Amino acid sequence: MTDVPQQRPRPPAGTARGVHLDELSKRIIEQLQTDGRRSYAAIGKAVGLSEAAVRQRVQKLLDTGVMQIVGVTDPLMLGFSRQMMIGIKCEGDLEKVADELAAIEEIDYVVITAGSFDILVELVAESDEQLLELLGRIRGVPGVLTTESFVYLKLRKQTYTWGTR
């Protein structure tokens, strides 16, 4: 795989981010959520700013970690035949376990949760053999007690257009 950009640290869920977004920045984000390739000139026209002003605001939003602009792919189209969510029950320090899981390259999503599972992870795999190997690696992480796998059969909806608050 190629180099993966580092994730910016995020504040704990339920805490204030400390970043104030004015209405223009929110409208810029909404434009990019609709089409991440939209030009700064087109965004400027839609929100009433110059291209340079939009470019500057977008850069600030990126630098502060408010948003990322990435290409979202369909794993099935890229040869990954399996995509799944795994619910994990743990003991000990959940953040340490989550960090260990996040270090596994094939895992693309790690979240500490409340409810039946302590941690949820999402991954894609090229084959059932690779899935089995990954499950073994996940189960071998210190602190992991049990796992429950949820293989995705068909994706019905996935959007990133929830807007801003």
What pLDDT shows up at residue 163? 65
User: Fold for domain 75-151?
Assistant: Alpha-Beta Plaits (3.30.70)
Instruction: Scan for tokens 């700064």, then name that residue.
Output: 40
Write the class of the CATH domain 23-64.
Answer: mainly alpha
What band does 89 get if pLDDT is binned at 50, 70 and 90?
Answer: very high
Q: List pLDDT tens digits, range 127-164.
A: 899 999 999 999 999 999 999 999 988 878 877 776 67
Q: In this structure, what token pair is assigned to residue 35?
A: 């089409």
| pTM beyond 0.85 | no
- Reference 47, options 29, 71, 63; nearest CA is 29
Q: What is the pLDDT of residue 79?
A: 75
- Work out the percent of the chain whose per-residue pLDDT is above 70: 87
Q: What mean pLDDT value characterizes the chain? A: 86
Domain residue ranges of the chain, discontinuous segments joined by +: 23-64, 75-151
User: Do 108 and 72 form a contact (C-beta atoms < 8 A)?
Assistant: no
Q: What is the pLDDT of residue 1?
A: 38
Percent of the chain scoring above 90 in pLDDT: 60
- DSSP secondary structure letters along the chain: ----PPPPP-PPTTS-------HHHHHHHHHHHH-TT--HHHHHHHHT--HHHHHHHHHHHHHTTS--------GGGGT--EEEEEEEEE-S-HHHHHHHHHTSTTEEEEEE-SSS-SEEEEEEESSHHHHHHHHHHHHTSTTEEEEEEEE--------------
Does residue 119 register a pLDDT over 60?
yes
